[in-house]
Amino acid sequence: MTAAWSAGLGLGSAADAPAFARRQAVVTGLRRIELREKEVPSPGRGEMLVRVQCALSCGTDLKTFRRGHPLFPLPTPIGHEFSGVVAALGAGVRGFELGQPVMAAPTAPCRECFLCRRGQENLCRSAIANMVLGAYGDYLLLPRHLVAINVFPKPAQISFERAALLEPVSCVVHAQELARPQSFETVLVIGAGPFGLLHLIVLRSYGVQRVAVSGRRAARLNWARQLGADLVVDAALPGAADSLRRLNDGYGPDLVIECTGEVAGWQAALRLVRRGGRVVLFGGCPAGSSLKIDTRRLHYDNLTLLAPFHFRPRDVQRARELLCDPRLALERVITERRRLSEIAEVFGFLEKGDVLKCAVVP
């Protein structure tokens, strides 16, 4: 089957270079995106060329589309949550073969810098600087360091859509590894978007029995109910904060995970958590934002603030385990599907908030 598949693409041995054009979505300016044709690259030593089977929308994509990104100057290829099949292999790559389904995270640490040696690979500067972008396209070239650390065979029982969730689930795992939720605790998730609902699902996998979700859009709150939240609160309604403070017999939630990426959400998390509780500031706010903190409350109520960023290789490994667990409905955050040729429509959906995640299929 592998030989027939690669022959159908015009690929021969691993050393052969595909010579035909590919499409790739590029953000050319604020709120401007277009499909461009590019020559398919030939993988160098240790590299892998993947034919994309699914790419998923992400909040970072939308932010880049709306206002640009400080790390990715425009014009920039876009899309970083993906799965696919091996189209070509560079010399020296072991453990993979042509036509093999794969899943991957879009970054990997250097494992040599100060932060990597401290076990904080999520903060490795080269990881983000060398992030793989361009998953909204036909092909994606994966660099040597990524292939060596964060690319895996895709099990047959996992769909390409589910496999493409590896990166966001890795971020969720990293945050919860720092927060260490306990089964007896009451957890509040602020924000019913894709990340908020992934947190809900992963919290259940860790045995947490009481999870509340607060959000603002009716459709998203309904998705939270469907995914099993014990309490769903419309944050726009009067008395919403009071109902959340009544959690835990009036003490308030033990753990609050903030997923809106808005300063107002961060402030709400600090107000709602119980004395001695923990706050996970998961959603990143715009550059230049500032947070007003009641230092007396922070100190005398013994609050713990956590601000997780990105993920480590061990988080990716754990995320892969969760994705292989059929009991977890992780793929239910994918609520729309479109072809690559409809990429402009996808960003229209995201702007309106009509979808959680959209699967883009070349």
Distance CA 226, CA 273 (A): 25
| pLDDT-above-90 percentage for the chain | 90
Structure tokens at 356: 């959680």
- Count of all residues that appear for the chain in the document: 362
Dmax of the chain from CA atoms?
A: 68
Distance CA 322, CA 163 (A): 11
pLDDT digits (tens, 9 = 90+) for 39-55: 999 999 999 999 999 99
Residue in the block written with tokens 């091996």? 86
Residue 5 has what pLDDT? 30
pLDDT of 13 higher than 60: no
pLDDT digits (tens, 9 = 90+) for 188-209: 999 999 999 999 999 999 999 9
Residue 2 has what pLDDT? 32
Distance CA 10, CA 305 (A): 54
pLDDT digits (tens, 9 = 90+) for 236-277: 999 999 999 999 999 999 999 999 999 999 999 999 999 999
Separation of CA 280 from chain center: 16
pLDDT digits (tens, 9 = 90+) for 310-334: 999 999 999 999 999 999 999 999 9
Give per-residue burial for 238-254: e unless 16+ CB within 10 Å, then b: eeeeeebbebbeeebbb
In this prediction the pTM is 0.93
Which domains, ranges and CATH numbers included, belong to the chain?
Answer: 2-164+329-361 (3.90.180.10), 170-306 (3.40.50.720)
CB 259 within 8 A of CB 283: yes
Residue in the block written with tokens 């601000």? 307
The HSE-up count of residue 198 (CA atoms within 13 Å, CB side) is 28
Structure tokens at 191: 């924000």
Compute the CA torsion angle 185, 283, 215, 256 (nearest 10 deg): 20
Residue 234 has what pLDDT? 98
What is the rounded end-to-end Cα distance, in angstroms, of the chain?
Answer: 21
Average pLDDT, the chain: 93
Residue in the block written with tokens 């590299």? 47
DSSP state of 158: S
pLDDT digits (tens, 9 = 90+) for 119-151: 999 999 999 999 999 999 999 999 999 999 999
The HSE-up count of residue 269 (CA atoms within 13 Å, CB side) is 33
The HSE-up count of residue 285 (CA atoms within 13 Å, CB side) is 13
pLDDT confidence bin for 354, thresholds 50/70/90? confident
Residue in the block written with tokens 């904080």? 120
